[in-house]
Structure 1
């Protein structure tokens, strides 16, 4: 999910390569940390679903999924993969009449500017049921960078706290991992589970 015009263009122009590089990444370690915390048949919002890889896994494991992304090309790819409608919109513009048991925002909120992230966390939290859980991940750091045509907001523990401080969310768990893509293991990520 991207909200930066350059980042959206990047994904629209490089969708096939992005999907091929991410569709088969083994996400088991992250799924095992998050999914057991959810009720059976939980309804998950996949916020910034990219290729649809995670949505497909959730559906295959008995969860209901609503998926969204800002890239038209990725929305089309994800829709085909999961065989259901995927919403094309920014985080700031997404709204559902349903409340979700969980939100999954894997490597997607990092494309929202640091100035906009507190509002985005507030908006997404409003879509969660009480005690709902929210997984998100950021490249580890405390700055904003533009790289390869994409905008990234990096986060560490302290910076993440500032992003959620005005929301109804609090940190349940956080941990650091290497990138799960082969050859990029030295890139560090912060993974966070929040609760409403």
Structure 2
């Protein structure tokens, strides 16, 4: 359902999101990484953040579930962008940083623990993980896209359920999209303990 939405609307979604200013959350994440760290952009969408991390000197691997979006991200970043779902992630201790900005929110709540364990296992011990969800509780469908919303309590419960992760920072931030100024986001930084 959600991946079909992005296939049908790839160009519009690319145009709407590629210019969003994510410099503040990227900086919060990047300052916890060593220079040249390996970063996985999981569900990279337009490739906006993958490109910024690459330009900063990180070794970036990126993927998206939508073939059309992955192609646009490839063109935008000049990087190889794989077509892959979260359920197909199988890296083991391959990345110092994991960036999942506004992407895991499309995973049904029942599947989040297993998906997030796969991603956790892709991090080296000590690795840092940024993730963000629309702020709220429960699951919903909007115009052909599925959303799992989280608040602080639900995020803490999810992290406890997954295991092997600790919260480094958590906050609620306003939307960075001018067209939805009243939307709020839960942003979380996790660490896989050494």
Query: TM-score category by the smaller chain?
Result: over 0.9
Match of 2:42 among 34, 47, 66: 47
Superimposed CA distance per residue, residues 57-111 of structure 1 (whole angstroms, 9 cap, x where no aligned partner): 0001111100011011111111111222211111110223661001000000000
Cα distance in 2, alignment partners of residues 152 and 189 from structure 1: 13
Match of 2:72 among 68, 71, 77: 77
Task: Tell me which moved more, 158-167 or 140-149.
Answer: 158-167
Superimposed CA distance per residue, residues 134-184 of structure 1 (whole angstroms, 9 cap, x where no aligned partner): 000000011100001100000011111222223211111011111101131
TM-score, normalising length: structure 2: 0.95
TM-aligned CA distance change 1:97 to 1:129, over 3 Å = closer
Instruction: Check conservation: 1:75, 1:87, Cα contact below 8 A.
Output: yes
Cα distance in 2, alignment partners of residues 160 and 107 from structure 1: 14
Cα distance in 2, alignment partners of residues 171 and 110 from structure 1: 18
Name the counterpart of 1:118: 113
2:98 is the counterpart of 1:103: yes
2:176 is the counterpart of 1:180: yes
User: Gapped runs of 5+ residues in structure 1?
Assistant: 1-5
DSSP 3-state at the match of 1:162:
helix
2:23 is the counterpart of 1:15: no
Instruction: Check conservation: 1:178, 1:184, Cα contact below 8 A.
Output: no
Match of 1:94 among 85, 89, 93: 89
TM-aligned CA distance change 1:102 to 1:142, over 3 Å = same
Displaced runs of 4+ in structure 1, greater than 4 A?
none
Task: Tell me which moved more, 82-91 or 41-50.
Answer: 82-91
Q: Count residues with an aligned counterpart.
A: 191
TM-score, normalising length: structure 1: 0.94
User: Gapped runs of 5+ residues in structure 2?
Assistant: none
